[in-house]
Structure 1
Amino acid sequence: MFIYLSNFPYLMFWGYVLFVLFFDIELALAQFQIDGLQNPPRVNSLSLSRATAREYYLGAGDTINIDILGVPEFSGRYDVLSDGSISLPLIGRMVIAGLTIPEAINEITAQYRVVMKNPVISVRVAFPRPINVGVIGEVNRPGTYTIRLTPGVGANPSAQYPTVTQAIKLAEGITQAANLQDIEVHRSHRSGEIEKIRLNLWDFLHKGKLNQDIILQDGDTIIIPTLTEIDLIEARSLALTSFSPETDVPRSVAVIGEVNRPGPYVLVGGNTTTALRTLGLPTVTRAIQLAGGIKPKANIREIKIRRLTRSGTERYITVNLWALLDEGDLKQDTILQDGDTVIIPTATEVSSPELIELADVNFAPDTIQVYVVGEVRGERASRIEVPPQTTLNQALLASGSFGYDNVRVRRGSIKLIRLNLNGTVSSRSISVDLSQGLNEETNPQLRNNDIIVVDRNLLTQISDGVELLVRPITQASSVLNFLGLLDNLFNIINPEN
């Protein structure tokens, strides 16, 4: 017992040393873990141009956990107020905005060292504040966006920070003039240095390089430049990415040139002639459908799309819809974006076989107008609407001019008057044979605004001529009869005369 009591001071001394060493080691490990989380290594990638992860700086809106070892009544969760301060027990108001986690630990430890001996303190961000990022350039709604962070999964989830593509989606997606290969993210550091991180989202899309879709930090700015030249294949790929606008989002476009109803239209993905929200893409051919279809003079080999960029310049895309019809080249039917203008030029020459083929395409008009004049029923000039591939015989029967109850019509031939593509007018007589199929000689395919002149037969011409000669005599006889009637009336009123 005496030996135990005599060694007691030594035991107390070495126990205290071991206690201090234990907690110093624990504090060092905690600091190491915090530094490891807050200071990840630099990204050694050429495509990212030495991108570095900036340390997290505390600020207004953060919620932090402060743990003081052995003093649970002073530990707890604290909100960083709008002035960047927190209120601590025994300490009061303390500004921590702009500090990193290690710096905050040192500052809080220094404050508590005044009121307690060797305080061991740890700080952890429980709920980080929303971050602000800028998205400018070739996106549909450039500007600054506040992104609220969401917790991850697991028992102790960390906040999930947004990536570049997620921020682009908040800006309503890229335009089709976006250059995905030269995107820059500008990141400012506390030293005042602005780091430029170069990204290639094209590699992310086509090669699966996930490191190109980097995680954003507060204050980052994404800059998406404009393409110098727009490629049809790339444009279609861009329009179908997850960070492009949805295809059923309405977009305002204009269609001008050789269409039946040129003007502005609201284009939506789907079947534009029946429903607005069915399967389909808002392409050039759908815009032409809205504009009433192409005219016979349309040059579908050299259609131009005028596209405005965010920099205020214009880009022109050439579309060859004949390659779509002839070769099935779907990239020619490119997807339009808001503000596009579709320009359909006039063809200098169109062959008859091409006209026949174009009449059957889905972006041709649903009907054409044909005029049947002469020996028609009802009005002197009858305008009828028929499908684009209608032949002469079909139009004659549709007008009712060649019914067997119409005894005045000449059934052997008609005259076809046509406005040609070069601006001239042609007129030719065509022998009518209702049993003939489609052929250019006796039963040609009609074009919009063709005029069919149906003449009178010989008997009708003779009877009409006789009527024309007799009509003056009949009219003179009627006048004499009228004068005689007046004379009789006058004698009845004045019998003495």
Structure 2
Amino acid sequence: MKDWRPMAPKIASKNFGERHHLGSTRGPRQDARGCPGERKYPYIPQSPPISPPLLSALRNLCTSVVLLPSLMLPINAVSPVMAQQLRFESPNGGQNLGSNTGSSCTGGIPATALRGTGEAYTLGSGDRIQIDIFNVPEYSGENGRYQVLVDGTINMPLIGKVSVLGLTIDQTANQLRRAYRDYLQRPELLTVKLLGTRPLQIGIAGEVNRPGSYTIAISTDTEVRLPTLTRAIQLGGGITQAADIRCIILTRPQIGKVTIDLTDLLQLGDLSKDITLRDGDTIFVPTNTSFDALERRELATASVAGDPTQPVNIVVVGEVTKPGSYTITRVDENGGLLTITRALQAAGGVTLSAEIGQLQVIRRPKAGPPQNLQVNLRELLYRGDLSQDIILQQGDTILVPTAANPNPAEANLLATANFAADTSRPLNIAVVGEVNRPGTYTVAGGDVRATLTQENLTAADSEGRITGLPTVTRAIKIAGGITAEADIREIRVLRQPKSGPVQTITVNLWELLETGDLSRDIILQQGDTISVPTATNIDLAEAPQLATASFSPNSISINVVGQVVRPGLVQLAPNSSLNQALLAVGGFDNSRAETKEVELIRLNPNGTVFRQVVPVDFAQGLDEETNPTLRHNDVIVVNRSGLTRTRDTLGKVGGTIGAVASPIFSLFGFIRFFSIF
């Protein structure tokens, strides 16, 4: 190795200029530390000589005194930590990571303990520095560039290895000035500059989306900018919705555990809470066992929440149209957060059997047992309580239970909610019992205008309002309307929920007609069956009101045959009487008809035929014996009178005799013709 000592006079002369004596005399003098020593470079006599024994004793004493403060230099960095070396503990020191209670922090020291450590960058293995000595180009510029070795030292000319591990740039400069004081007359002109930084190795665990070990590069464009706590959390994918930001634990080897509360940063913009990190720091974000919906919503919009385009996997089960697993972006194209209502929309919306007051969100935090969050969406519908529309996170499961007793009044409100099933989707239902055309039907939202031969379901109007929901009355209308024998007070809707037995909902449409209570006209859902029973006692006084109801048919077809003025098919209003049907075809053919009674023929739904002889009295009101209410496809037969039957019979006999006698008369006439000649 080249001996640098002969160059010392050259260094001194360039550093201090011509005004210093450049002699080569050697002798004892006080060195830069104030200790006597042997100088091998130019010196200026300032004191009398010291005896060799005293000189040796003073030198040993000075060396021991100088070493003590050098060992007390602060060290603010450690060597990089590998991923497999990271170990995280809970704030309480236990094995259950993240199991802090609520928002009370019981472990670590306050973040104020970091204030005394400063924000300056500390050197470590891999850093590159440049040392400049004024007017000494041999050791400055490119000749003065060094990289910190693995052991935290740099190998310097004249003085050999110097440890800079954990020192700031200013501390390193002071260290080198002291080391070169024996060689420089103006050591204060030595400066140190940071050329390149090593990446920091940081560990992140707990309630972050991607826990693990991260290597963070340090920006040195204009000045060294150390990564902060929030940047490290962002690298870890952002915090989860179960994170307790009041009790974040930072573990730094030189200090220990430090408790950090980020609420002041998020709510007040207090940047002092966003502390800078050092190499080897580990960050632990504990689990919050308490739940504040409004705070969670604020947290979801913070920069530490992670990438808004990051897909989130959730599961929706129970009373929804399409239960299953879904992958949804955390923030939609309109900036909407992934809330429980948005998840329900993705699953096709809740069914009308849902108990929206007792939804459950099962959340599995990074540590600890699953959390069960209770959600009452009824509060959202009735009071606009947005705190019920909680923010979801990766792995959440939403359970929508089945209502034990569905509330028809609430179903109407629920059907119009944005998280309900789409009412424009066609529903497959069945309508049986006392309707004109029982069977299965496909019903969709829209205002229903139905006849017995055509159903027209219109879409929403131009302003997007729903002009008709698939209700019981609309389904009955599509099935041809009720018959005259229908018991509208005991209509039953049979509904099969996602779980549990079949539900039976009783519908009283008479209260709908009497009071206008729209809750009686319940909204249907996929798979419903409507059963319209037969009335045991028919109140004919109600017939006119029923005939004008929206769930009655627009018209019924009656076939009148026999001795009437205009026999054939006639269209009548629902619940029309037999007398009205006779008058609609022009009445009896008085010259031929039996005007005292007619025959009513009815085909029953079970395939049997009902026949009834009805006496006719046009002055009679509605009466099941003398003027019954007609049903669709009834047949009225008006028979001939007795005189007409006799006359028609004699006419047939006379016709037969005339047909037989006609050839005989024709033969006599032929003979008589030839007798003339």
TM-score, scaled to structure 1: 0.68
| Pairing partner for 1:70 from 220, 234, 239 | 220
| Pairing partner for 2:370 from 184, 187, 194 | 194
Following superposition of structure 1 onto structure 2, how do residues 376-455 of structure 1 map, counting pairs within 5 Å?
Answer: 376=564, 382-392=568-578, 394-400=580-586, 402=588, 408-410=591-593, 413-415=596-598, 417=600, 426-432=612-618, 444=627, 446-448=629-631, 449-455=633-639
Equivalents in 1 of 2:535, 2:391: separation in Å?
52
Equivalents in 2 of 1:401, 1:209: separation in Å?
67
> Which residue does the alignment assign to 1:140?
321
Equivalents in 2 of 1:43, 1:214: separation in Å?
18
SS in 2 for 1:181: coil
- Residues 446-465 of structure 1, C-alpha deviation per residue, up to 9 Å, x if partnerless? 41155444344677456424
Relative to structure 1, the CA distance from residue 407 to residue 344 in structure 2 (aligned partners, 3 Å threshold; closer, same or farther) is closer
> Which residue does the alignment assign to 2:115?
none
CA contact (8 A) 2:543 2:575 kept: no
Following superposition of structure 1 onto structure 2, how do residues 27-426 of structure 1 map, counting pairs within 5 Å?
Answer: 55-58=207-210, 68-70=218-220, 125-126=306-307, 129-150=310-331, 161-191=337-367, 193-273=369-449, 274-278=456-460, 279-311=467-499, 313-376=501-564, 382-392=568-578, 394-400=580-586, 402=588, 408-410=591-593, 413-415=596-598, 417=600, 426=612
Q: Percent identity?
A: 35
Equivalents in 2 of 1:140, 1:425: separation in Å?
48
Equivalents in 2 of 1:271, 1:161: separation in Å?
34
TM-score, scaled to structure 2: 0.51
Offset, 1:382: 3.3
- Unaligned 5+ residue runs, structure 1? 3-7, 22-38, 45-53, 76-94, 108-116, 154-158, 489-497
Offset, 1:294: 0.7
SS in 1 for 2:373: strand
| Pairing partner for 2:651 from 467, 487, 492 | 467
SS in 2 for 1:370: strand
**Amino acid in the other structure paired with 1:415:** V
Offset, 1:467: 1.1
CA contact (8 A) 1:260 1:294 kept: yes
- Residues 12-68 of structure 1, C-alpha deviation per residue, up to 9 Å, x if partnerless? x9xxx99x89xxxxxxxxxxxxxxxxx9x9889xxxxxxxxx8222289xxx99562
Equivalents in 2 of 1:250, 1:175: separation in Å?
14
Q: Report which of the two structures shows the higher radius of gyration computed on alpha carbons.
A: 2
Equivalents in 1 of 2:308, 2:546: separation in Å?
63
SS in 1 for 2:543: helix
- Residues 355-389 of structure 1, C-alpha deviation per residue, up to 9 Å, x if partnerless? 332222121122223232322479xx734332225
- Residues 437-494 of structure 1, C-alpha deviation per residue, up to 9 Å, x if partnerless? 9766999574115544434467745642431342332232146468889x99xxxxxx
> Which residue does the alignment assign to 2:187?
none
> Which residue does the alignment assign to 1:85?
none
Equivalents in 1 of 2:216, 2:333: separation in Å?
21
**Amino acid in the other structure paired with 1:136:** V
Equivalents in 1 of 2:484, 2:547: separation in Å?
8
SS in 1 for 2:616: strand
Relative to structure 1, the CA distance from residue 414 to residue 68 in structure 2 (aligned partners, 3 Å threshold; closer, same or farther) is same
Equivalents in 1 of 2:251, 2:309: separation in Å?
17
Equivalents in 2 of 1:307, 1:476: separation in Å?
74
**Amino acid in the other structure paired with 2:313:** N
For structure 1, which segment, 160-169 or 330-339, has the greater mean C-alpha deviation from structure 2 after superposition?
160-169
CA contact (8 A) 2:470 2:524 kept: yes
CA contact (8 A) 2:616 2:627 kept: no
Offset, 1:409: 3.6
Equivalents in 1 of 2:622, 2:336: separation in Å?
70
Equivalents in 2 of 1:263, 1:281: separation in Å?
20
> Which residue does the alignment assign to 1:494?
none
CA contact (8 A) 2:597 2:613 kept: no
> Which residue does the alignment assign to 1:49?
none
SS in 2 for 1:228: coil
Equivalents in 1 of 2:223, 2:664: separation in Å?
130
Two-structure CA RMSD over aligned residues (Å): 4.9
